Structure 1
Amino acid sequence: MTIAPKIKTDLPRIDQDSVLIFDLDNTLYPAACDLFSQVSDLIGKYVRETLKLEPDAAYRVQKDYFHRYGTTLRGLMTEHDVDPADYLAKVHDIDLSVVDPAPDLASALEELPGRKLIFTNASRGHAERVMGRLGIADRFETIFDIVDADYIPKPQQQPYDRLLARDGIDPTRAVYFEDMAKNLLPAKDMGMTTVWVHTDLEWAQHGRDDPRIDHETNDIVGFLRNLATAS
């Protein structure tokens, strides 16, 4: 069922000049898959082994860096000169069997014209594996990952600026889908139409009542099909 308590604009018309930008994790697959728990556990292991800390101390460092730098990786790079490629390879070595193939999502994406991109705080390799598991890899033109963002995560402004510049995107022709409400706000300030893909995860709620969120849904396939019908 689609929920739409905050639709303040008509659905945008999607044509060949439109750009559909999607976050990856908990946006293109259900948050109930809980891949983040696997990643979080591997981050904790990485912090413990790299900094030679006991579990409790490593957990405190992991969360402290996340809150102060936006990602634990950024904190480790800044304070300990950690190799980001090594980190990303190890913390994304997760079991994807909990993610089901998504033929309905693949079909809904295929029905829509325009360009389609992934914009993620994760790595390209992780994105490619998840997209392969979902069966949607061939629906997307490209991926903009944390490396492309120079390891600066959303919602800081720099990744959005880099994405638009790299891929020649007119933000007024773009629709951005994201499960973390706060990550939509810079996109709206730049002129994009914003869609919050609803999740009950507490840390995804910040910013959900901001007027810069145009639409929200808990059924991304249904929302995409409505876009196709409206166009």
Structure 2
Amino acid sequence: MLALEWLNNARDVMQKIENTQIENIKKAALVMADSIESKHWVHTFGCGHATIPIEEMYPRIGGFVGFHPILELPLTFFTHIFGEMGIHQFLFLERAEGFGNEIMKNYNFDKQDTMWIFSHTGINNVNIDVALKAKEAGMKVIVYGSAAEAVGKTTRHSCGKTLFELADIVVDSCVPVVDASVTLKNHIDKIGPISTLGFVTLVWMTITTVAEILADRGVKLYIHPSHNVPGDVTAHERLDACLAEYKKRVACI
């Protein structure tokens, strides 16, 4: 049954993450915790399906203030497949060197901020633009993606480096570079990608580690509560406090 084959492949990725990436996750989480404790931001960026982990982390029940999503609509999949903002335009834009520079002009960054980038292959120009600009601004750059599988791949950027080579810290998603993981009879291409599961797994392993570090330091976290639990009479009040804190902090960006 192909459903179980995909499930086993997904389990294998999660097991590899546990076996090989815990120390890298701790390193990344420590940098992020330092930014958040100092009232600065962990900015998050990705393209295409790599925006899904960004959308997962904030705002979200169990997430907390400190992560700032940079989501450029034409680089997400919240677009049309054909027509305006279609897939052809998306594929062009993620490879268009210089487009990331224009995105970065829209924000005010601080050297105490952190830039967290998700990219499966690490070769496309927009992500590399963002990383280069982040480093230029003095930020630490943390990259999550299929780093080991990307070794030997040629960057599309004129700087001559992949995203993984530019990063201060790399956490490997442990996903095969082809991403799709299940062979289908009578077809060349596989089905059942697993990179999104790898990314989301790493997101919550990282964010829970960041939360643990900050809680141990005595830092108050503004955590989004569930507002659907019967009897929790202060949930909306706590949610309002989170949004007020986010609004206060984001005003400086």
The structure whose Rg is larger is 2
TM-score, length of structure 1 as denominator length: 0.35
TM-score, length of structure 2 as denominator length: 0.33
